[in-house]
Amino acid sequence: MNRTLFRRFCEVLTMQGGLKKTRNVDVDEMVYVFLRTISHNEKNRTLQVNLRRSGETIHRSIHRVLKAVIRLNNQFMKKPVPIPENETNSRWKHFKVKSEAVKTEYNFWNAAHDTPFVECLLDLTERGLITNGNCKNGVFREIQRMMEKKVPDCGLKSKPTIQNRYKKLKHWYHSTVLMRNQSGFGWDVQKECVSADNAVWDVFLEVCYFSYFDLYTKQKGLVELQW
């Protein structure tokens, strides 16, 4: 890409894609980082060294340009046209598929599934299939069968739906126990959630800005979490 084309690309992203410069990074540099990443598979660490920028700055620049490109999808991205059934071109006729063959039905998790799901977990814990948060082989398939009995026609699959929900609940549990073990945190019986003063939250979020497990990693020798 020559300089003229690069400048034109930056103008299109700015005027039509809504890309704006930040306090520390210009549009040209953000576009340069984006192009180096997608075209040359440049690593974040390499760009940090070459541009003397932090990894967070590189990451944010790529995503800002990517969002601007997505806004221009109607202008630069051609919508796919389905291949007709009577296609005679030898190049494309082999790609014809029936819609029923590729149709996939996704069943999403909702709040009504949590209560029977926890009941299944407690039952499997009593049976010894879940110990200390570790699941034995076939546990998620067993949960799928149990959920089908408790919630007929739920359509939840062991992977990835049930397995992802288990990981999320386990993450929330550890986060809750972690906060309860810190001074200043209490439990709101009515709302059934962790409660604390604003000052306590400010200190806690400052220490655990990205994740509650940052603090858990620092204190894992002092805090004993039991599943």
Convert the pLDDT of each residue in 119-164 to its tens digit: 888 888 888 888 877 788 888 888 888 888 888 777 788 788 888 8
b (16+ CB within 10 A) / e for 136-162: eeebbebbbebbeeebeebebebeebb
Q: Where are the beta strands (DSSP E) in 82-145?
A: 130-131, 134-135
The pLDDT, as a whole number, for residue 28 is 92
Q: Which of 22-36, 76-90, 174-188 has the lowest mean pLDDT?
A: 76-90
Domain ranges of the chain: 3-76, 111-219
Report yes or no: 28 and 3 within 8 Å, Cβ to Cβ: no
Residue of 179, 173, 187 whose CA lies nearest to 226: 173
User: Is the pLDDT assigned to residue 225 strictly greater than 60?
Assistant: no
pTM for this model (two decimals): 0.43
Using CA atoms in the order 19, 22, 25, 29, what is the torsion angle rounded to 10 degrees?
0
